[in-house]
Chains A and B, each alone.
Chain A
Amino acid sequence: MTTYPDRKTLTHLERLESEAIHIMREVVAEATNPVMMYSVGKDSAVMLHLARKAFYPSPPPFPLLHVDTTWKFKEMYKLRDKMAVDSGMDLLVYQNPEAAERGINPFDHGALHTDMWKTEGLKQALDKYGFDAAFGGARRDEEKSRAKERIFSFRTASHGWDPKNQRPELWNLYNARKNKGESIRVFPISNWTELDIWQYIHLNNVPIVPLYFADVRPTVMRDGMMLMVDDERFPLQPGEEPVMRSIRFRTLGCYPLTGAVESTAKTLPEVIQETLLTTTSERQGRAIDKDAGGAGMEVKKQQGYF
C-alpha cells in the first residue's frame, strides 16, 4: 500500500491493516505459544499476508495450523503447501485420528462430519501442541454471534465460549492474561467486511485458490446447492451425471459441503463486481449455519467451534 507524504488521514483499509498488525504483535509479545489457523480460504490468505507484514523482515514467529478434514478441494491443498514454503513458516496439518478411523465423511454423516473433523479436530490439535493463543480469520460481518465476539476471545479448558462473560475490550488494549487451561482465540480481522477482504487481496496481489475465479468445472445439484465433483470419492446417485458449468466459489470449505455459483468472473475486479451485485450473503453457500435453527453458529461456538 502506498502512502502519500503529506496525507494525515489513513484510508479505511490502511486503518484495518494497521489494527490487524497491532493485534498480531500484541499476541506474539504476550502469549507463550501462538499459532495461526490456516484454512486456505481467502480470509486465511489475508491473515497470512498481514502476518508477513507485521513481522517483516522476520518471518512470522509462529506456525500455521491446518485442521484438515481430508475433504478440501485439491487446489486448496496445493496452495496450502506452496504458501507454507513461500512464507518460511512451519505448517502443521492435523487430522482427527478417530474421524479417520471411523471413516467420517460429509456424504454419510452430515453434521457429525463438521463436529468430528473440525470442532473435535481443532480441540485435539490445540491440546496436542499446547497452543495458548490461536489466530483466526473470522469477521464480525459474517454472522450474528460473531458481531458480538471480542477480538481476544477466551475459551475454557474444554474450549467453550461464554458470550455473557466476555472481557471488556477498551481502546486497543488487550488483556491477554489467562487462567490455567484457558486459551485465546484472536481475531485480527474482526472489523473487516467481505468487500474489504477482496479489495485488500486486489491491492496487495495476495495469492488465493483459483477456485475463487470462474472456470468450467464438473458439477451436480444436491438439495438446492451446486456441488463440484472434485474427486472420485463423490458418490453419484443413479442417473446422476456431472454437468460442466462455468462456476466459482464465494467461500471454500469441504468440497461436498460448499455450494458454487454460476459465474463468468475470471479476474478479481470481476469477482468483486459480482460480489457487490449479488443478492445472497456469503455464508449462504455453507450448510453449517443452518444447523440448530437460527442460533446455529452461536451454539457451535459454545461447543468449541472456531
Chain B
Amino acid sequence: MTDTTTDPIYVTEALIAEDIDAYLDQHQHKTMLRFITCGSVDDGKSTLIGRLLYDSKMIFEDQLAALESDSKKVGTQGQEIDFALLVDGLAAEREQGITIDVAYRFFNTEKRKFIVADCPGHEQYTRNMVTGASTADLAVILIDARKGVLVQTRRHSYLCHLIGIRNIVLAVNKMDLVDYDQSVFDSIVKDYTDFARSIGINTFTALPISGFKGDNITTRSANTPWYSGPTLIDHLETVEVLSALDAEKPFRMPVQWVNRPNLDFRGFSGLIATGSVKPGDDIRVLPSGKTSKVTRVVTLDGDLDQAVAGQSVTLCLADEVDCSRGDVISLADNPPQAADQFEATVVWLNDEAMVPGRAYWLKLATQTVSATVQSPKYVVNVNTMEHLAAKTLELNAIGVAELATDKSVVFEAYTDGRTLGGFVLVDKITNATVAAGMLNFSLRRAQNVHWQALDISREAHAASKNQRPRVLWFTGLSGSGKSTIANLVEKKLHALGKHTFLLDGDNVRHGLNKDLGFTEADRIENIRRVGEVARLMTDAGLIVLTAFISPFRAERDMVRSLMADGEFVEVFVDTPLEVAESRDVKGLYKKARSGQLKNFTGIDSPYEAPEDPDFRVNTTTESPEDAAERIVNAMLAG
C-alpha cells in the first residue's frame, strides 16, 4: 500500500450501515453519466481509471490482494500499487502492457453512476475510440504534463468533437512529475486552447491532476494551491448529461417491433430518441406521412402519462395506420425528412478499404437499406486537420463522401440527433461492420428526381415478345470463352424467334464506358452501368446476354439485386487461369505478365469465383457449342 492511498470517500459507508433504506433511496435517484478517457499509451489512462474505481471502493479485498501481488510481479511502479493492472483486462494486453480494446468500467458517487469507456491511444485503434465516444456524454483527454499537447491529443480531441461530444475535460496528468508547477500547466492549457479553437471546440475544462498520487481527483490537492477549479469528480458529478438535452428536442421514436398479442391490441415498440410523448399527441408516421393520435403509452407497470427521450415504450395509436419496423413516429407538425442521397462523414473501421460504388448495408436507427458510397471528396488528416484528396477510405480514415441508398431513409443531420443521423455500414459478404458515419445533409437532387410512372408496363413489353425477360450474365477470366459462348447462345435464341441483345465488355468500353479505366473503382462503376443498362433492356422485354470478366462477387450480387427475382442468370465460364493464359487471344496476359498492363484479373487483381452459379461451363471438358445448347435448353424449359 502506498502513502497516497485515500480512504474510500464516495460510498457513504456510515449511511449504508445505519440506514440502508435512505441509502437505497439516494442511489435509486442517481443519474448516469457515460464518459470516455483517451490519451496516448503512457499518459496514465488505466492508472486514472484504476484510481477512480479504487477510490469509489469498487475494488474488493480479494481483487486488491491480487492487485498487490500482480503489482510486484508485472507492475511498472516498483513496489507500489499499479492501478493500471486493475483495468488492463485481456491476457494479450497484460503481456504487451497496453490497452487494445474498449473496456467499460463502472463506479458510483453519491450523485451519479458512471460508465467509463477506456479507449486505447495508439493509431491503429482509432475505431475503438470512435466506438467508445459514440455513447459518451463527456470525454476526458489525458495529457502527460511532461510531454504537453501531442499529435495524439489533437487526434483524440478531433474524434471526440466529430462524434459530437460537447463536454471536453483536459486532464493534465502526472503533475507530480513536474513538481506541480503552475507554469507547466498554464502553458499546456494555452497550447490546447489554440488548437481546440481551430477545430471548433470552444469550451473545455482543464484540470491539473495526478492519477497515480490522487491529486485533484476526489479532493482538492494541497500540492496545487494555485488551482481553484473543481476536482475531476466534482466536475463529472455536475455536468449536464446528453439525454437531458435530447428531451428538449422534437419527438422522434424509431419503431423496433410491432406488438400484436391478439386482434384487440396493436402497439408500436421503440426507444424514444428525442423529445417526449403523451396520450392525445398528434403524431406522423414516416416515411408514409400518415397522421394519427397517441392513445396510450403502455408499459408492464401501467400506462404512462408521459414518456421522455431515453425511455423504451409501446405506443398505441387512434387509427389503423400502416406502421412497421424501420418507420419513425414523430411529432405531427415537425417531422424529420426522408431522402436517398446524402453527404456524410464516414469513419472507416475495417482492414479492407472502402470500395467506391460497392453496395453495403446501411443501418440507421431501425432502418436497413442498401447503400453505395462515392469516392470521398476529401479525407481528413487527423493529425494536422488538413483535407487531402483520396480515392478511397482505408482503415481508420475519416472522409467526407456522397452516398446513395436504394430506398428513402428517414433521417436528421447528425448534429440535430445522433439516433437519426448516425449509421453503420455492413459488408454484404463478410457481414463485418466496416464503417460508421454521420449524415451531414441530404442532396437536393434526390428530392427532385421522381420515378416516372409508365403506361406500358414491363409485363406488357415482355408479353408482346412472348418471352420472359432475362439477363444471362457470363463471368470468367479474360480469354475464358465468355464472348464465344454468349454469341452462340444468342444465335440459337435468335433462330428460335427470341428477342435478344448481347452487351459485350469491349464494345461497351468503346462507348458508354469510355471514361472508365481499370482500377477497382472504375471496374465497379463499369459493372454498375452495364447492370443498369441490362435492367432497362429487361424492362423492354429483352433477353440480355452480357460477357464481362466482372471479377467481384459483390458487384455481381449488386446487379442481381437490380433485377426481378429469377431474371438474373449467372453463367460461370470456369476456365483455369493456365488454360486462359495459354490461349491469350488478345495478347493481354503477356502484357500483364511483363508489367505493361496493371490490375489485370488473375495476374495482379483477384477474381472471385461465383459460389453457386446457375450454370458452370468447364471449357476444358465441354465444347462451346455443347455448353450453348445446354444453356438454351435449360432456359427454354424454365
- Chain A interface residues toward B at CB < 8 A: 1-3, 5, 7-18, 21-22, 25-26, 28-29, 52-59, 140-141, 144-145, 147-148, 163-164, 166-173, 175, 177-179, 190-191, 193, 195-196, 199, 202-203, 269-270, 272-273, 276-281, 284, 294-295, 298-299
Beyond A18-B311, A284-B62, 5 extra complex contacts between A and B, CB < 8 Å: A22-B271, A53-B299, A54-B312, A196-B113, A202-B24
A294 interface neighbour in B91, B130, B298, Cβ under 8 Å: B91
Contact A199 B27 (CB under 8 A): yes
CA distance A58 to B419 in the complex (A): 26
Please give the number of chain B residues whose Cβ is less than 8 angstroms from any Cβ of chain A in the complex.
92
CA distance A52 to B301 in the complex (A): 11
Contact B101 A191 (CB under 8 A): no
- Chain B interface residues toward A at CB < 8 A: 11, 13, 16-17, 20-21, 23-24, 27-32, 58, 60-63, 66, 70, 87, 89-92, 94, 100-106, 108, 112-113, 115, 127-128, 130-131, 134-135, 241, 243-244, 247-248, 256-257, 259-261, 265, 267, 269-271, 276, 298-301, 304-312, 314, 325, 349, 361, 363-366, 418-419, 422-424, 426, 430-433, 436
Residues in A whose Cβ lies below 8 Å from that of B366: 26, 29
Residue of A nearest to B29 (CB): A11
Contact B426 A140 (CB under 8 A): no
Q: Which of A5, A9, A191, A202 has the most chain B CB atoms inside 10 A of its CB?
A: A9
Give the tally of cross-chain contacts (CB within 8 A).
Answer: 215
Q: A52-B300, A56-B300, A166-B101 are in contact. Are A279 and B311 (CB under 8 A)?
A: no
Whole-angstrom distance between the Cβ of B110 and the nearest chain A Cβ: 13
A269 interface neighbour in B20, B61, B106, B271, Cβ under 8 Å: B20
CA distance A278 to B127 in the complex (A): 38
Contact B300 A15 (CB under 8 A): no
Q: A9-B243, A58-B259, A177-B426 are in contact. Are A21 and B312 (CB under 8 A)?
A: yes
Residues in B whose Cβ lies below 8 Å from that of A172: 135, 271, 419
Whole-angstrom distance between the Cβ of A142 and the nearest chain B Cβ: 11
B307 interface neighbour in A3, A178, A294, Cβ under 8 Å: A3
Residues in A whose Cβ lies below 8 Å from that of B115: 191
CA distance A170 to B265 in the complex (A): 34
Whole-angstrom distance between the Cβ of B342 and the nearest chain A Cβ: 17
CA distance A177 to B368 in the complex (A): 11
Residue of A nearest to B427 (CB): A177
Contact B13 A277 (CB under 8 A): yes
Residues in A whose Cβ lies below 8 Å from that of B21: 269
Residues in B whose Cβ lies below 8 Å from that of A166: 101
Residues in B whose Cβ lies below 8 Å from that of A21: 271, 312
Residues in A whose Cβ lies below 8 Å from that of B309: 8
Contact A168 B433 (CB under 8 A): yes
CA distance A211 to B408 in the complex (A): 54
Contact A164 B24 (CB under 8 A): no
Residues in A whose Cβ lies below 8 Å from that of B58: 141
Whole-angstrom distance between the Cβ of B101 and the nearest chain A Cβ: 5
CA distance A238 to B13 in the complex (A): 44
Residues in B whose Cβ lies below 8 Å from that of A279: 60-61
CA distance A199 to B269 in the complex (A): 26
Contact B28 A11 (CB under 8 A): yes
CA distance A145 to B257 in the complex (A): 32
Residues in A whose Cβ lies below 8 Å from that of B419: 171-172
Residues in B whose Cβ lies below 8 Å from that of A145: 89-90
Q: Which of B70, B106, B112, B309 has the most chain A CB atoms inside 10 A of its CB?
A: B106
Residue of B nearest to A204 (CB): B301
Whole-angstrom distance between the Cβ of B26 and the nearest chain A Cβ: 11
CA distance A193 to B128 in the complex (A): 23
Q: A170-B131, A175-B424 are in contact. Are A25 and B269 (CB under 8 A)?
A: yes
